[in-house]
Amino acid sequence: MSLEIKIPEVGESITEVVIGAWLKGDGDYVEQDEIIAEIETDKATQEFPAEASGILKIKVQEGETVEVGSVIAEIDTDAKSSGNGAASKEETPSAKPVKEEQSASTAKKTGEIKEMHVSELGESITEVTLASWFKQDGDFVELDETIAEIESDKATFELPAEANGILRTVAKEGDTLEIGALLCKIEVMEGKPAEKATAKASSAEPVKAGGDDQTSYAAGHPSPAAAKILDEKGISSQDVKGTGVGGRVTKEDAERAQKAEQSAKTQPSAQPEASPAVYGERNERREKMSNLRKTISRRLVSVKNETAMLTTFNEVDMKPIMDLRKKYKDQFKEKYGVGLGFMSFFTKACCQALKEWPAVNASIDGEELVYHDYCDISIAVSTPRGLVVPVIRNAENMNFQGIESEIIRLAGKARDGKLSIEEMSGGTFTITNGGVFGSMLSTPIINAPQSAILGMHNIVERPVAINGQVEIRPIMYVALSYDHRIIDGRESVSFLVRVKELLEDPTRLMLGV
């Protein structure tokens, strides 16, 4: 009996798909539910399982675009019990039986299949991106061994194995997955295979029947992630040497590929016109935006479009604080083990001003205004992966030593990529310090759903009038961006003036007046 394999419905708005890659060759014996192909839509790449066991007959070639419902292959189900079917199974073994034979000699399968799904990572996170697999399909993994890395819009997480056994990957690198989606399966095993059994089984890849050189059908074909990178670079996969299993072009191969590899193959037949002389190299490179960077971009644009954002400015004479730090910083460091920085002064001043002007510490939720009687101060931290904003909880109840210690702890975890979702969630007001990079003045963008953000800048000696005399003072410009829907001009200006008063007379911070 011949069973027709058709493209199923893959979404309401999707009418056609592309055959990305055949993972089994024409004439191969396939098992029911074994992955035989990858199909690509304009939204995602999906694995295509066999609907029955038998001999595969391919009708549509890789790269072809077919409509939903089209026949792409047939499976001869009678071959499962016939002599020919058994012979085909022996001549062109799939990766799965070979893997089992290798590992059976040193470890015992329990028959249990452990499914691993994307777990809950936080209230506001609904999807993640599979950044990379540390283990390959068919590898032996141990309980709690890190097998993959997943990215959310806030942080990167390591994925530990939930059992000992053989890994069967389901999701691909670069896939965007919803919470609860299936990532992989583990064929649970008792014991640990010998070193040979755990090696990458390149020999377990299926081969084409009848070929003298036994060339793998995967040779020269890119993975979905590699194909996207090559498309962006304008490079053909045929011009890239694959280092993956069976010669498959991996994501790493695509990232290393240079367009110069194919430029020499396409020489123009006619002599080109003389072009202007170019002195020096003119190299370019493209990098895919990380999930964090895309989320930051989307949110910043959203804030600009959905809030009535204004910015008010003022200047602060930093001499009183600088004199105080100079006098006590050594004693402070010796007693508490942390330095006395400017951030603790600004945090304390903002907390006091927020209590006096609660609208600046509020937020909008639908048609309601939410006022907070606590100050969760978000501190913007620049990291190699992008800007993150960890939160100091109940900063209004902390002293200078407590604030400085918490800032150091959170900033260190941010730069190491170890911040938890809880440490970045919430926040009622944000402080950002562009002055550390030399910024003189800026208009910071609100950190939604908050309603205001304070921008610090560099300290520059400027001539100012003090009691009728011109003096040189260390001056910092400060900026308060705020949502005019909830904060009026009187409140925003008064808040910033209050912060200025507290900073220019640090004694007020100590006394709370």
- 484 belongs to the catalytic site: yes
CA angle in degrees (0–180, nearest 5) for 442-462-318: 75
- 488 belongs to the catalytic site: yes
According to DSSP, the residues that pair with 184 across neighbouring strands are 116, 169
Rounded to whole angstroms, how far apart are CA atoms 50 and 73?
10
Burial of 186 (0-12, 13-18, 19+ CB in 10 A): buried
Among 76, 372, 484, 505, the one annotated catalytic: 484
3-class SS shares of the chain: helix, strand, coil, % to 5: 30, 30, 40
CA angle in degrees (0–180, nearest 5) for 284-285-286: 135
Tokens of 244: 């993956």
* DSSP letters for 421-479: HHHHS--SEEEEEGGGGT-S---PPP-TTBSEEEEE--EEEEEEEETTEEEEEEEEEEE
Rounded to whole angstroms, how far apart are CA atoms 246 and 221?
10
Tokens of 44: 């995602």
- Cβ distance 339 to 349 under 8 Å? no
Rounded to whole angstroms, how far apart are CA atoms 25 and 217?
7
Rounded to whole angstroms, how far apart are CA atoms 188 and 165?
4
Tokens of 136: 């390959």
Give the gyration radius of the chain's Cα atoms: 31
Among 42, 231, 330, 488, the one annotated catalytic: 488
- Closest by CA to 136, choosing from 181, 198, 195, is 198
* Residue whose token pair is 């008792």: 190
- Closest by CA to 502, choosing from 377, 281, 317, 304, is 317
Query: b/e for 340-354, b at 16 or more Cβ within 10 A?
Result: bbbbbbbbbbbbbbb
CB-hemisphere CA count at 13 Å for 96?
A: 16
Tokens of 139: 């590898």
As annotated, the active-site residues are 484, 488
